[in-house]
Amino acid sequence: FNWRSLVVKKSECNVEMSTVRAENLDLSGCSIPSYIAIEGPIGIGKTTLAKRLAHSFNYETLLEKAEENPFLERFYQDPRSNALPTQLYFLFQRMRKLQDLRQGDIFQPVRISDFLIDKDPLFAKVTLDDDEYRLYQTVYDNVVCDLTKPDLVIYLQAPTETLYERVQRRGNAIERNIEPSYLQQLNDAYTQFFYHYDDTPLLIVNTAEINLAESDLDYDNLVKYILQTKTGRHYYNPHPLQQTAVG
């Protein structure tokens, strides 16, 4: 992608890009998407952002539980032998979590998820051989149908070296055997997938030089951008905020 800043359009939601904390924003009059899905490769910070947004918007979370997958650690140790059961476990886990969204009940609580089921085949294409992928695709086609689509998808992006640094920094024992080459394959696959994705409004966020986990200013400015993102494809390509120390 050629990253570029997008001029924010005025809307009925009177939110200015400033240093006001997102948790203290007056959201009255703001049209907040009722179902937000956050996506991006391993190490990008999907779950962290989902939890922060859920706190800011008072939303429920719909979170992937990678640590519950009994095949995942074995996959990182021996991808060739464990790719198919790992992928199928994740597919069924994600589907179980989406069951309560099938009916589209307007009285259901609003949600933020840290996965988009549409991208599930992306990992399968990277990790499975041709025969395994055909089997996986047959299963996928039979279980993924009539699902509620998100009102907004947020795709978090960063260079592979940044992803690898973040994975190493968080020190998850299951991920200790992840190779940079695998992250590169995933990063390329995500880029290709979202280049063509147009099923829902999409916000692409370049996180290379911001810290949405630890910087309140970086996070708050993203929240204000989200509140003004309604339709179409948008690019959020911020620069790290410069702070001057006062002595």
216 is catalytic: no
Could you tell me which residues are beta bridge partners of residue 17? none
Please state, in angstroms and as integers, the Cα–Cα distance from residue 72 to each residue in 117, 130, 177, 183, following that order. 18, 21, 11, 15
Q: In what order do the strands lie in the sheet with 35-39?
A: 60-62, 111-113, 35-39, 152-157, 202-206, 233-236
Please state, in angstroms and rounded to a whole number, the distance separating the CA atoms of residues 230 and 33: 8
User: Strands (DSSP E) along 52-177, which ranges?
Assistant: 60-62, 111-113, 152-157
Please state, in angstroms and rounded to a whole number, the distance separating the CA atoms of residues 143 and 146: 9
Cβ neighbour number for residue 25 with a 10 Å cutoff: 17
Task: Residue 240: name the closest of 218, 214, 216 by CA.
Answer: 218
Q: Which residues contact 116 (CB under 8 A, 6 or more apart)?
A: 37, 39, 150, 153
Q: DSSP class of residue 19?
A: S
Catalytic residue chosen out of the listed positions 114, 130, 146, 151: 114
Residues carrying an active site annotation = 114
